[in-house]
C-alpha cells in the first residue's frame, strides 16, 4: 500500500500532535534500586520521535522515486513542458533527498 502525500502529511501531523501533547508530561520516576527511569510519557515520546523520523525518511524516499521517474520519463524529450533547466532542477532535488 502506498500512501499519498496528503495521507503522509496527515500521519505526520497526528504523530506531532501526540508528541506535543505528551511533551509536558515527561518526567522521571524511581526505577529499580532508586535509579531514575523515564516515565511512560517519556518512553512514548521517544517512540513517537523514532516514528516521525521513519515517516519523514519514507516520505523522502517516495518523493525521490517519483522525481527519478519523472526525470527518466523526460529523457527522451517526450514529456511536454519539461525543459533542460527543469531536468537539471529535478536532479538537484533527487540529490538533496539522497
Instruction: Give dist(CA 42, CA 4) in Å, integer.
Output: 30
What residues does each domain of the chain span?
5-96
Q: Which pTM value belongs to this model?
A: 0.67
Question: Each residue of 10-57: pLDDT tens digit?
Answer: 988 999 999 999 999 999 998 888 899 999 999 999 999 999 998 888
Residue 13: name the closest of 5, 2, 40 by CA.
Answer: 5
Question: Each residue of 50-80: pLDDT tens digit?
Answer: 999 988 888 888 888 887 887 777 776 566 6
Strand partners, 30: 36
Amino acid at each position: 500500500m502506498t500512501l499519498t502525500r496528503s495521507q503522509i502529511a496527515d500521519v505526520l501531523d497526528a504523530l506531532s500532535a501526540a508528541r506535543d501533547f505528551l511533551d509536558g508530561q515527561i518526567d522521571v520516576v524511581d526505577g529499580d534500586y532508586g535509579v531514575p527511569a523515564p516515565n511512560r510519557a517519556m518512553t512514548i515520546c521517544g517512540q513517537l520521535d523514532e516514528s516521525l523520523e521513519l515517516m519523514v525518511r519514507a516520505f523522502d524516499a517516495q518523493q525521490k522515486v517519483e522525481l527519478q521517474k519523472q526525470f527518466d520519463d523526460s529523457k527522451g524529450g517526450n514529456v511536454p513542458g519539461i525543459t533542460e533547466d527543469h531536468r537539471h532542477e529535478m536532479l538537484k532535488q533527487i540529490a538533496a533527498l539522497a
